[in-house]
Amino acid sequence: KQWYQRRVAITAGDRNARQNLPPYMIIGAGSGIVLYLAKYSLYGLALLLGPGRDKYAAAAIEIDLGTVPEGKNAVFTWRGKPLFIRHRTQEEIDKSKAANVSQMRDPQTDAERCVNEKFLICLGVCTHLGCVPIAHAGDWKGYYCPCHGSHYDTCARIMKGPAPLNLEVPKHEFITEDIVIIGKED
């Protein structure tokens, strides 16, 4: 007899294992698929019931102003836009206060733009076409937008160029002298 013609003694336990293997594999694979689908269904449900992207985007941020050295400008990201925080020197403050507001395109006093005179907080988006200005540049050493030549002073007021308005000052509130919350809704 050839090797494939020989009868091997098969016990009842072996026969049972060989016959039950396909159902066990189907049950195992099916359980894995069900667990995978359950995981992503719960994940989708959590995203659906959680706060929307607009709530995250509208969130307020808290900034420690002690990290911004005097005479320097720091850039943060807030609501997807650059946020400029400038720690102004006494010379910059005096120059901004002495500026002739009546001659400006968008007249605003220094006090209207700066809650704390030491810090200017504004959005870093040029009001002409939405470019990002460069700090400590331009004719007034405030901000300069190289795309179309808009010049801003150290209080982010438009002084020269095509921009129609001053850089926007977002709503902000000082918690302490060195901590500010930007974008807090009432």
Question: Catalytic amino acids?
Answer: 148
| Residue closest to 183 by CA, chosen among 98, 63, 33, 13 | 63
* CB crowding 105-128: b at 16 or more within 10 Å, else e: eeebebeebbeebbbbbbbbbbbb
Element holding 108 (H helix, E strand): none
Which amino acid would we find at residue 151? H
